[in-house]
C-alpha cells in the first residue's frame, strides 16, 4: 500500500482513478478546490468523506503551504488538475494549468516525492504533418491558436526544466487523446453548450455540420485510469501516448447522434464558433476547433510495450459513451461532475454571470 496524492481528484479522470486506487488498497489523498460534500471545506486540513479518501481543499492558482503539506510523505503524486472555463479568462486558465503545474513540480521536488505522474494531452503536440500516427518524440509546441494546447505545451516545458536540473523525482507523462466518460456529460455540456439550451437538444440534432476530414484520437476514461495505475506500479519514466486503435470521425459521431453528416469546411465551422464565442453566446472557444483539425493521430506502441497497456474500449464504444453522456446530461456526485440543469444555469447566470466569464467557475 502506498500513499498517493491526486490533484483534480473530483474531475473526469480523477473520480475514476481515485476509486481504482482505493480499491487496490492505496492510501489516497484527494486534492481539489471544491471537495465533495461531507468532507473538508476550503482550507481544511484533511477529512474522510466515508469513501476511503482523505480530502483536502487546495487551490492550485495560489501559493501557500497547503500543497506541500498534502504531498509530504507521498510515494507518488498524480497531477490531473486543469481548467476549461472561463474561456474568456485566459489569465485564470493559465494560472491554473501552467501555474498549477509549476506549484506541483515545486512541491514534489521540495518534499522529495519519488514519482510524479503528469496528465498531459494530445494537445501538447504540434499540428499534424501527415496522416501517420506519431510517437512520443513528435514536436511538442502545441497548436498556436488553441489556448488549451499552448498551456499544455507550456506545462510540459516545466517538467523538461525540472528534469534538466537533475530533480530526483521520476516523471511520467500521459498523453491521451480526447477522453470520454459518460458521467462527464453534464460537465461537457457546461463547457460546450449555451447554458439556457437543455441537454435534450442533443437528441434532436438532425444534421452534423462538420468538415469530413475530422480525425481525432480518443480514449475511454477507464483506460486512462488503467494507464495511470500501471505507470504508478512500474514507476515508469517518460511519455506515453494513449488512444484507441482508430480515431473518431464525422461518420462515427453522426452515427452515434443518429444525425446526417453534412460537409462544412473547417474554416466555416471555426468562423461560426468564433462569432458565437465573441458574442458570449457559446462557452466553447474557437481554439478547440483548431485543435480538433490539427492534432496528430497517436502511436501507442510505447504504452503497450513498456506498461503492458491495452485499451478495453474501442472507438465506437468511446464515441457512444461520449454522446450518451451528453444526451442524458449524465453526472456524478462531485462538484466538477455535478448535474446540469437550465434552472441552475439561469440562477447562476443572474448571480455569477456567464460561465465563460466567471473568475472562479
- pLDDT tens per residue across span 91-102: 999 999 999 999
Q: Is the pLDDT of residue 81 over 70?
A: yes
Confidence of residue 44 (pLDDT cuts 50, 70, 90): very low
pLDDT at 356 over 80: no
pLDDT at 197 (0 to 100): 79
Quote the pLDDT of residue 357.
58
- With cut-offs at 50, 70 and 90, classify the pLDDT of residue 258: very high
How many helices (H) and strands (E) are present in the chain, helices listed first? 13, 14
Candidates 83, 36, 76; CA nearest to 233 is 76
How far apart are the C-alpha atoms of 254 and 209, rounded to whole Å?
10
Specify the pLDDT at position 42. Answer: 38
pLDDT at 345: 67
Separation of alpha carbons 123 and 48, rounded Å: 35
| Confidence at residue 199, expressed as pLDDT on a 0 to 100 scale | 79
Return the H-helix or E-strand segment holding 250: helix 250-257
pLDDT in tens, 263-279: 999 999 999 999 999 99
More confident of the two residues 204 and 58? 58
For the stretch 309-347, pLDDT in tens is: 999 999 999 999 999 999 999 999 999 988 887 777 677
CA distance 314 to 301: 16
The strand pairing partners of 248, in sequence order, are 216
The CATH fold assigned to 3-357 is Rossmann fold (3.40.50)
Quick check: 195 and 349 in contact, CB under 8 A? yes
- The dihedral built from the CA positions of residue 102, 106, 109 and 112, taken in this order, carries a sign that is negative
Q: Give the model's pLDDT for residue 152.
A: 98
Q: Is the backbone peptide bond immediately before 86 cis, with ω within 30 degrees of 0?
A: yes
DSSP calls for 62-109: S-STHHHHHHTT-SEEEE-------TT-HHHHHIIIIIHHHHHHHHHH
pLDDT at 41: 42
Closest listed residue to residue 226, CA positions, set 55, 21, 25 = 21
* Residue 9: partners with Cβ closer than 8 Å, 6 or more residues away: 15, 17, 18, 28, 30, 31, 32, 53, 55, 80
Q: Is 353 left (phi over 0), alpha (psi -120 to 50) or beta?
A: left
77 pLDDT higher than 90: yes
Reported pTM? 0.92
Distance between CA 150 and CA 142 in Å, rounded? 5
Set of cell numbers at residue 125:
503536440
Report the 10 Å Cβ neighbour count for 165: 8
- Tens-digit pLDDT profile for residues 281-318: 899 999 999 999 999 999 999 999 999 999 999 999 99
Query: Tens digit of pLDDT for each residue in 106-147?
Result: 999 999 999 999 999 999 999 999 999 999 999 999 999 999
CA angle centred on 41, ends 38 and 43, rounded to 5°: 150
Q: Please compute the mean of the pLDDT values over residues 11-23 and round it to a whole number.
A: 96
Per residue in 289-298, is it b (16+ CB within 10 Å) or e — as a string? bbbbbbbbbb
Q: What is the mean pLDDT of the chain?
A: 92
pLDDT tens-digit profile of 178-209?
Answer: 999 999 999 998 888 877 678 778 888 899 99
Q: Are strands 260-263 and 76-79 parallel, antiparallel or unpaired?
A: unpaired
**Domain residues of the chain, as ranges?**
3-357
Instruction: Return the pLDDT at 349.
Output: 65
Residue 205 confidence (pLDDT): 84
Amino acid at each position: 500500500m502506498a500513499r498517493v496524492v491526486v490533484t483534480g481528484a473530483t474531475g473526469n479522470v480523477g473520480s475514476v482513478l481515485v476509486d481504482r486506487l482505493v480499491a487496490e488498497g492505496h492510501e489516497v489523498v484527494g486534492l481539489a478546490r471544491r471537495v465533495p460534500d461531507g468532507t473538508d471545506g476550503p482550507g481544511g486540513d484533511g477529512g474522510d468523506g466515508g469513501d476511503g479518501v482523505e480530502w483536502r481543499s487546495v487551490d492550485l492558482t495560489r501559493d501557500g503551504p497547503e500543497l506541500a503539506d498534502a504531498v509530504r510523505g507521498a510515494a507518488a503524486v498524480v497531477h490531473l488538475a486543469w481548467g476549461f472555463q472561463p474561456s474568456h479568462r485566459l489569465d485564470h486558465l493559465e494560472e491554473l494549468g501552467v501555474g498549477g503545474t509549476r506549484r506541483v513540480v515545486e512541491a514534489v521536488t521540495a518534499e522529495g516525492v519519488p514519482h510524479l505522474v503528469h496528465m498531459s494531452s494530445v494537445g501538447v503536440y504540434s499540428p499534424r504533418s501527415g496522416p501517420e500516427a506519431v510517437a512520443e518524440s513528435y514536436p511538442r509546441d502545441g497548436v498556436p491558436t488553441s489556448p488549451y494546447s499552448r498551456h499544455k505545451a507550456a506545462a510540459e516545458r516545466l517538467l523538461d526544466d525540472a528534469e534538466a536540473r537533475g530533480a530526483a523525482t521520476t516523471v511520467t507523462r500521459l498523453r491521451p487523446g480526447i477522453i470520454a466518460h459518460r458521467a462527464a456529460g453534464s460537465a461537457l455540456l457546461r463547457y460546450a453548450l449555451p447554458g439556457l439550451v437543455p441537454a435534450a437538444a442533443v437528441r434532436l440534432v438532425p444534421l452534423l455540420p462538420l468538415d469530413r476530414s475530422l480525425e481525432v484520437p480518443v480514449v475511454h476514461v477507464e483506460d486512462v485510469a488503467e494507464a495511470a495505475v500501471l505507470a504508478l506500479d512500474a514507476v515508469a519514466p517518460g511519455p506515453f501516448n494513449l488512444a484507441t486503435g482508430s480515431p473518431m470521425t464525422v461518420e462515427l459521431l453522426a452515427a452515434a447522434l443518429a444525425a446526417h453528416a453534412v460537409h462544412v469546411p473547417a474554416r466555416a465551422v471555426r468562423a461560426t464558433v468564433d462569432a458565437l464565442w465573441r458574442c458570449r453566446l457559446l462557452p466553447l472557444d474557437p481554439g478547440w476547433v483548431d485543435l480538433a483539425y490539427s492534432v496528430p493521430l497517436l502511436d501507442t506502441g510505447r504504452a503497450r510495450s513498456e506498461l503492458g497497456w491495452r485499451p478495453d474500449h474501442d472507438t465506437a464504444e468511446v464515441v457512444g459513451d461520449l454522446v450518451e453522456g451528453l444526451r442524458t446530461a449524465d453526472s456524478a456526485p462531485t462538484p466538477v461532475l455535478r448535474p446540469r440543469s437550465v434552472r441552475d444555469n439561469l440562477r447562476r447566470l443572474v448571480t455569477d454571470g456567464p460561465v465563460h466569464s466567471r473568475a472562479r467557475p
